[in-house]
């Protein structure tokens, strides 16, 4: 009895109790984590099923065409919609808002690092000196040219489906005439879910997919989603590092415009980080399954 009393009050007793508490805590956290991971996967599977069903219904549309479907007969992607490829371990750098005075430096870094990227370009800069040359340089560097918007005026382009098609077809035609490339990927200005397109989003998505274009939002923003133009290069890299946790593929939002001057400074560090995390860095193509805010990634 004396031995037992000494054990209960001993240092060894408290150490064992601490180990038991830690073991129970770890076990509890593991069970909870597995439970929520299972629920998360169920939700992801359900969302992907809904997305696939939506795309299938769009592509097999047998009803009479809507009025806007007869507009801009040359505004079609060079392929039918078949964006099903989803490969783990891939990272896709995407640049919005350009080309700009930063584009040449961005292209130099990408060439030096041996990686390709995607540029969702705007058309409101066509009067800037060198704009056409930068478009051609993007193509010559083996990168993907994607559609951003012609006017970069969300209130105007989201006024109606017809307005959106007019804006995007103008940009599409300009890119084709300038570079010989027919873009097949696009990004909704401001992202697919924004304060301007709420009433017509599903119609826009359906019509662009019907025309063969593949939409891409992002699941990782270098500025943390804040849109700040004042973040340092170090802060941009840290945002990417933090957001990579748990991702098995990444579509990274970066900005190629004059207001985001630190993009160029941060880019080598971002590429190095992605490579350290065993990501292959490549450009988007029309075969790659989209990331959309309304659906799973």
Same domain, 241 and 262: yes
CA dihedral (206, 210, 211, 216) in degrees, to 10, reads 50
Cβ atoms of 103 and 260 closer than 8 Å: no
Q: Quote the CA–CA distance of 67 and 35 in Å, as a whole number.
A: 48
Q: What confidence tens digit (pLDDT) does each residue in 210-220 have?
A: 999 999 999 99
Q: Is residue 56 part of a domain?
A: no
Question: pTM of the predicted model, to two decimals?
Answer: 0.81
pLDDT of residue 40: 45
Question: Do 10 and 74 share a structural domain?
Answer: no
Domain membership flag for residue 290? no
Domain count, the chain: 2
Place of tokens 């479907």: 69
Supply the CATH number for residue 92's domain.
3.20.20.370
Q: Is residue 291 part of a domain?
A: no
Q: Per-residue confidence at 16, pLDDT binned at 50, 70, 90?
A: confident
Per-residue pLDDT for 1 more than 50? Answer: no
Q: What is the pLDDT of residue 57?
A: 58
The verdict on 127 and 177 lying in the same domain is: yes
Domain that holds residue 255: 61-282
Asked if residue 140 belongs to a domain, the reply is yes
Mean pLDDT of 260-277: 95
Pair (116, 29) in one structural domain: no
Whether residues 228 and 269 share a domain: the answer is: yes
Residue 274 has what pLDDT? 98
Residue 292 is assigned to a structural domain of this protein? no
Placement of tokens 């133009």 in the chain: 229
Considering the domain boundaries, does residue 294 fall inside one? no
pLDDT band, residue 203 (cuts 50/70/90): very high
Distance CA(265)–CA(269), nearest Å, equals 8
End-to-end CA distance of the chain: give it in Å, rounded.
Answer: 63
- For range 37-59, the mean pLDDT: 55
Between 43 and 284, whose confidence is greater? 284
Asked if residue 75 and residue 120 are part of one domain, the reply reads yes
Q: What is the DSSP letter of 79?
A: S
Same domain, 157 and 272: yes
Please indicate, yes or no, whether residues 9 and 80 belong to a single structural domain of this protein. no
User: Mean pLDDT over all residues of the chain?
Assistant: 87
Q: Kindly state whether residue 287 falls inside one of the protein's structural domains.
A: no
Give pLDDT, residue 78: 97
Of 295, 233, 217, 242, nearest to 266 by C-alpha is: 233
pLDDT in tens, 245-263: 999 999 999 999 877 889 9
- The answer to whether residues 152 and 239 belong to one domain is yes
- The pLDDT score that the predictor gives to residue 41 is 52
* pLDDT at 13 exceeding the cut of 90: no
User: pLDDT-derived band of residue 37, with 50, 70 and 90 as boundaries?
Assistant: low
Same domain, yes or no: 182 and 206: yes
**Residue 297 belongs to some domain of the structure:** no
**pLDDT tier for residue 43 given thresholds of 50, 70 and 90:** very low
To 10 degrees, the CA torsion angle through 249, 254, 256, 260?
-170
Segment 157-194, tens digit of pLDDT? 999 999 999 999 999 999 999 999 999 999 999 999 99
Residues 77 and 210 occupy one common structural domain? yes
188 and 43 belong to one structural domain:
no
CA–CA gap between residue 169 and residue 157 (Å, rounded):
11
* Confidence at residue 229, expressed as pLDDT on a 0 to 100 scale: 67
């Amino acid at each position: 009895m004396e031995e037992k009393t000494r054990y209960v009050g001993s240092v060894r007793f408290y150490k064992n109790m601490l180990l038991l508490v830690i073991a129970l805590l770890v076990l509890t956290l593991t069970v909870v984590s597995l439970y929520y991971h299972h629920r998360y996967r169920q939700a992801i599977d359900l969302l992907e099923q809904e997305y696939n069903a939506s795309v299938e219904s769009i592509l097999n549309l047998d009803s009479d065409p809507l009025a806007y479907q007869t507009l801009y007969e040359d505004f079609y992607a060079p392929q039918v919609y078949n964006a099903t490829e989803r490969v783990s371990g891939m990272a896709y750098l995407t640049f919005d808002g350009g080309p700009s005075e930063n584009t040449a430096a961005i292209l130099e870094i990408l060439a030096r690092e041996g990686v390709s990227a995607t540029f969702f370009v705007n058309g409101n800069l066509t009067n800037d000196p060198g704009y056409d040359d930068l478009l051609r340089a993007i193509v010559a560097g083996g990168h993907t040219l994607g559609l951003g918007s012609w006017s970069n005026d969300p209130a105007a382009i989201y006024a109606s489906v017809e307005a959106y098609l007019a804006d995007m077809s103008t940009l599409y035609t300009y890119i084709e005439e300038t570079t010989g490339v027919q873009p097949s990927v696009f990004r909704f200005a401001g992202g697919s879910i924004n304060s301007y397109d709420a009433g017509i989003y599903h119609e826009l998505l359906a019509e662009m997919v019907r025309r063969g274009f593949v939409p891409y939002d992002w699941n990782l923003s270098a500025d943390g989603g804040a849109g700040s133009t004042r973040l340092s290069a170090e802060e941009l890299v840290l945002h990417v590092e933090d957001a990579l946790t748990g991702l098995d593929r990444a579509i990274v939002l970066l900005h190629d415009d004059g207001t985001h001057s630190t993009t160029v400074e941060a880019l080598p560090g971002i590429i190095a980080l992605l490579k350290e995390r065993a990501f292959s860095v490549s450009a988007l193509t029309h075969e790659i399954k989209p990331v959309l805010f309304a659906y799973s990634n």
